[in-house]
Structure 1
Amino acid sequence: MVTGASGFIGSRLSLRLDGMGAEVHAVSRNPVHRQASGLSERAIWHAADLRDRETAEALLQKINPDVVFHLAGEVDGAREAGLVLPTLESNLLSTVNLLNHAAALPGVRVILCGSSEEPRPANEQSPPPSPYAMAKWAATGYAQMFSRLWGVPVTVLRPTMVYGPGQRDARKLVPYLALSLLRGEEPRLTSGSKRADWVYVDDVVDALVLAGGTDRAAGQVLDVGTGVLTSVRETVELLFRISGTSLRPRFGVVADRPLDMAQTADVGPAAEVLGWRAVVGLEEGLRRTLAWYAERR
């Protein structure tokens, strides 16, 4: 069972699992056309809003999955008060609903997608800088409670800055840059001083699949990233070099986001528990991503 199966990471994960021969139950709040999803006839789509407790319970009982990959949520890192309730409901309430009902299903394994902006050793326990990160941190706390008290085999993976083919949210940096280049527009950017740990989407999918297939990951909270920090400015300039464009990025015309800090992954635990390490470097990943956008102009 993959929630958020029509989203960026969820759609890539669903395709991977489908290709492995798994019976995929793809869950989305919005109905999705099978042809557009690329999934085989084996995959089963469910339109469901997991913020509703009874809906979540009925869906889990109907599917009775071996593994739940919970990727659905409100993905918006803006520092706006108006996001407090949407992120709480979509990222925390839906997670608690799933955990609560999964606890009644013997043997079901739950894999959650956390946030690298949660307090953790790799960022010196820095407090959550956004409503989204706060909701994700709370969800991780509930996951650990369900694991300790009721033995639910739940794993939290915290990806860093995920990018790659299939990312359609133009508010995110890489899609915004790619679409600007294809339109012949010079992107308007911040100073570019923020440093990020960029991790390719298919590497993240690898980590999710591994976590779903081993008992060793139960009760674990693991970072998923490369351990390498690259500034936004360096990333933008690399993408522009790859594209061969004569356009130039316009740095400094958009204000930097408050409370931004470098978010890198502690790669050791995921390597030890899952045998996982990122394999796609930033330059190669950006080449693949830019080619994907160019093919779908």
Structure 2
Amino acid sequence: DNFNDYYDPALKRKNVGGFGDLPGVKVIEADFCDQAAMHDLFARENVKSVVHLGAYAGVHASVASPHVYQRNNVQGTLALLEAARQHPVSRFLLISSSTVYGLGAAIPFQEDAPPGIPASPYGATKRAAELMGLTYHQLHSVPVVCLRPFSVYGPRLRPDLAMSIFTQKIIAGQPLSLYGDGSVRRDFTHVSDICDGLTAALSAENVAGQAINLGHSHPVEIRQVIAMLESAIGKKAIVKKHPPRAEDLPVTFADLGKATRLLNYSPKVTFEEGIPEYVDWYRSWHKV
């Protein structure tokens, strides 16, 4: 991790605090966009497999800073693919995003159906990263698997995401911003289910060169998310409405047929279970 300032670096360091004490775990501060550093790292550490979760995330921030997203999400991915080409690995999990489906994709989103046009630079860079990864699989036999998580939530959620912001605002009694009428739907997927999918993809057979959804397949309206947070927190939200944003997809909805078939993936945590758990974690973590 390069612990950049996309959000508070102190929070990032807190998130990895203690990981370096675990057996077999080493926390390395570096930038994966630095190709020479990645070559040295792969050679020095004898890397066996890659779970590439590094990226500049955030749909809305990408509209204001597209060049930053291009550098990190496309050039950074290319640096890792080059390292994996020169220092072969058994599996390269390229963690993509549901945003690659874009506007115009058929609902629910199927991996092998024609995609739409990405609604944001973030979605465009994630699709470009996927295409680069699949090209390296085809051309250089790098065993790339593209995984597409859908609206991940749960403990240690990024502070810039809607659920985190809503929770903070409701607890503090401050107005929260709602863009549009709240009918936008997201396929919220608990982080533990995503981890199960990643773990399965590391060892599954016949998945190299594939793109696979990791979602929950039960989209929830944003206004329902607010209502469930109100219930879990025990406080009403103060909602300030704004016009809808062009970069927001109206719905994300994962078809899980391929994930079930190839990874035996089956999400276990319902949204009704995950929301109270998240609120409990938030209160404990932030001492509020």
Identify the TM-score tier after normalising by the shorter chain.
Answer: 0.7 to 0.9
Of 250, 255, 259 in structure 1, the residue corresponding to residue 239 of structure 2 is 250
Of 29, 45, 56 in structure 1, the residue corresponding to residue 27 of structure 2 is 45
Q: CA deviation at 1:137?
A: 0.2
Relative distance call for 1:128 and 1:292 in structure 2 (3 A) is same
* 1-structure distance, mates of 2:125, 2:50: 19
Q: CA deviation at 1:32?
A: 4.2
* 2-structure distance, mates of 1:80, 1:205: 26
Q: Which runs of 5+ in 1 are unaligned?
A: 8-27
1:154 partnered with 2:144: yes
TM-score by length of 1: 0.83
* 2-structure distance, mates of 1:290, 1:31: 19
* 1-structure distance, mates of 2:129, 2:93: 12
Q: CA-to-partner distance for each residue in 1:262-286, whole Å, 9 max, x for gaps? A: 1111101011100011110111111
Alignment of 1:1-297 (within 5 A): 32=13, 36-42=17-23, 43-78=25-60, 81-119=63-101, 122-123=108-109, 125-169=115-159, 171-190=160-179, 191-245=181-235, 247-252=236-241, 254-259=242-247, 260-296=249-285, 297=287
Q: Which runs of 5+ in 2 are unaligned?
A: none
Q: CA deviation at 1:255?
A: 2.6
Give the conservation status (yes or no) of the 8 Å contact 2:182–2:221. Answer: yes
Q: CA-to-partner distance for each residue in 1:202-227, whole Å, 9 max, x for gaps? A: 11111111111223321110011011
* 2-structure distance, mates of 1:213, 1:5: 29
Give the conservation status (yes or no) of the 8 Å contact 2:185–2:219. Answer: yes
Identity of aligned residues (%): 25
Residue identity opposite 1:234 in structure 2: Q
The number of residues matched between the two structures is 271
Determine helix, strand or coil for the equivalent of 2:133: helix
TM-score by length of 2: 0.86
Residue identity opposite 1:85 in structure 2: H
